[in-house]
């Protein structure tokens, strides 16, 4: 029987005769009216109970267990989203690696071309400084926007916001449902350096690798307190004269265009590819030409090694997180199945409650029909006998079969 089969407009009295019109005649007498009222009361009672069960069927879609599972599922979904964000951050960084390697390869080839006499030192110097700018641009575009709560912020694993310590960001990604995290440390793959002056401790900083245009020329600027207090002393990098540079210790000696001599220590950051002037502008006439050229080659080799090592680490970290995302998917799917099963059980229980109330209603209808039939036997007899053409004189017996199976004999 369908759950919505019962209509509050149904008349229970109809059960007495199956809809025969003679039943309406029962209602002429007072006992019939009382039975109708009683039937109506039974109908209202059970209609209310069935309506309540139906309402419960619609509302009973959760339990304490299913609510806890849903909370667990929401927690896992949130952690999976953070894993996906972390994968996005690492992928954004990895997208730059091939370009970085290409720039390094290009500079290595340019040095070979210089040694073969295919290009001049001046051409290599311009090309070198311009590639430093492009390398830093690649590091900057590795930024990815991620969401933390209701706020968004940028995460970049291969760039640095500090020109004095070259620090990088760290990424923490969910590792499992227990709350453990995977730490991915950033590695600066831009290139930068500064010089600490021996006598004063002043900070010398070059903007060559941070220029916007290819034709711009870098400037070396002195600060007594970086970055807030510049001393006012600066020089374009093309006007500086390198006297010596020891790559193993960072010791450097150079002259400003105005005649001042500076000695200090070079501190490189990231790929640590220095301005062309630190390599003597690759001038074969420089006293340390062979050393300067070897310093440039060594710097490129070290930069390439750092890029390759970092790429391998990031690929491993991304693969790890991708596997964790799959685990979260499986856990989320499993909880969804558990919740669905629980809700189905709840609905089955609620549906059983509706059917039980409907069955009680049917039984009550039948019981009432039996009682009403017994009470109406005499009235039925009188009405039937009145229907005879010669009431009171006819000796033939009239017989009527009541809908509940009771036989009434009527004699003249």
Q: What does pLDDT average to over the chain? A: 78
Is the dihedral angle over the CA atoms 153, 157, 159, 163 positive or is it negative?
Answer: positive
The alpha carbon torsion through 144, 149, 151, 152 (nearest 10 deg) reads 10
216 secondary structure, DSSP code: -
Q: What pLDDT score was predicted for residue 224? A: 96
172's CB contacts (< 8 A; 6+ apart) are 86, 181, 182, 183, 184
**Measured between alpha carbons, how far is 37 from 35 in angstroms, rounded to an integer?**
5
Selected residue with higher pLDDT from 101 and 407: 101
pLDDT digits (tens, 9 = 90+) for 113-155: 999 999 999 999 999 999 999 999 999 999 999 887 678 889 9
Contact 281, 217 (CB under 8 A): no
Structure tokens at 249: 């210790």
Q: What pLDDT score was predicted for residue 49? A: 64
What's the Cα-to-Cα distance from 42 to each of 28, 111, 364, 366, rounded to whole Å?
21, 102, 8, 12
Q: Which long-range contacts (CB under 8 A, 24 or more apart) does 383-388 make?
A: 383/22, 383/25, 384/408, 384/410, 385/410
Q: What's the distance, CA 75 to chain centroid?
A: 11
E strand or H helix at 317, and its extent? helix 289-386
105's CB contacts (< 8 A; 6+ apart) are 304
pTM of the model: 0.67
Mean pLDDT on 330-346: 66
- The DSSP result for 218-284, as a single string, is -EEEEEEETTTEEEEEEEEGGG-EEEEE-TTT-EEEEE-TTS-EEEEEEEEEET-PPPGGGGGGG-T
The length of the chain in residues reads 412
pLDDT higher than threshold 90 for residue 8: no
225's CB contacts (< 8 A; 6+ apart) are 203
Q: What percent of the chain has pLDDT over 70?
A: 61
**Measured between alpha carbons, how far is 389 from 412 in angstroms, rounded to an integer?**
12
Contact 174, 324 (CB under 8 A): yes
What's the Cα-to-Cα distance from 367 to each of 6, 13, 267, 380, 381, rounded to whole Å?
18, 12, 100, 19, 22
pLDDT digits (tens, 9 = 90+) for 163-216: 999 999 999 988 776 778 889 999 999 999 999 999 999 999 999 999 999 999
Tokens 């599922």 locate to 73
pLDDT digits (tens, 9 = 90+) for 249-269: 999 999 999 889 999 999 999
């Amino acid at each position: 029987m369908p759950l919505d089969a019962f209509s509050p407009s149904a008349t229970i009295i109809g059960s007495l005769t199956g809809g025969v019109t003679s039943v309406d005649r029962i209602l002429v007498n007072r006992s019939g009216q009382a039975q109708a009222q009683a039937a109506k009361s039974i109908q209202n009672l059970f209609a209310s109970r069935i309506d309540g069960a139906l309402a419960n069927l619609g509302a009973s879609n959760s339990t304490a267990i299913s609510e806890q599972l849903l909370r667990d599922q929401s927690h896992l979904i949130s952690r999976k989203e953070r894993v996906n964000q972390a994968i996005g951050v690492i992928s954004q960084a990895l997208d730059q690696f091939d370009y970085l390697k290409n720039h390094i390869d290009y500079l290595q080839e340019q040095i070979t071309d210089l040694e073969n006499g295919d290009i001049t030192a001046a051409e290599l110097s311009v090309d070198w400084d311009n590639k430093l700018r492009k390398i830093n641009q690649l590091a900057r575009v590795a930024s990815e926007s991620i969401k933390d709560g209701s706020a968004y912020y940028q995460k970049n694993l291969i760039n640095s916001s500090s020109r004095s310590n070259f620090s990088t960001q760290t990424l923490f990604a969910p590792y499992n449902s227990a709350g453990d995290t995977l730490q991915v440390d950033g590695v600066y793959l831009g290139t930068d350096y500064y010089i600490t002056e021996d006598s004063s401790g002043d900070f010398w900083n070059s903007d060559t690798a941070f220029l916007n245009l290819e034709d711009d020329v870098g400037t070396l600027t002195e600060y007594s307190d970086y970055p807030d207090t510049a001393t006012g002393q600066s020089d374009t990098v093309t006007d500086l004269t390198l006297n010596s540079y020891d790559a193993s210790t960072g010791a450097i000696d150079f002259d400003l265009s105005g005649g001042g001599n500076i000695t200090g220590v070079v501190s490189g950051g990231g790929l640590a590819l220095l301005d062309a002037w630190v390599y003597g502008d690759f001038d074969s006439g420089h006293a340390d030409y062979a050393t300067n050229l070897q310093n440039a080659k060594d710097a490129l080799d070290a930069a390439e090694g750092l890029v390759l090592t970092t790429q391998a680490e990031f690929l491993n970290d991304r693969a790890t997180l991708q596997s964790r995302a799959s685990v979260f998917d499986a856990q989320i799917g499993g909880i969804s199945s558990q919740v669905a099963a629980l809700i189905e059980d709840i609905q089955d229980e609620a549906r059983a409650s509706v059917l039980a109330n409907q069955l009680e209603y049917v039984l009550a209808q039948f019981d009432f029909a039996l009682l009403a039939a017994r009470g109406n036997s005499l009235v039925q007899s009188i009405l039937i006998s009145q229907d005879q053409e010669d009431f009171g004189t006819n000796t033939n017996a009239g017989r009527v079969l009541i809908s509940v199976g009771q036989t009434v004999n009527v004699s003249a």
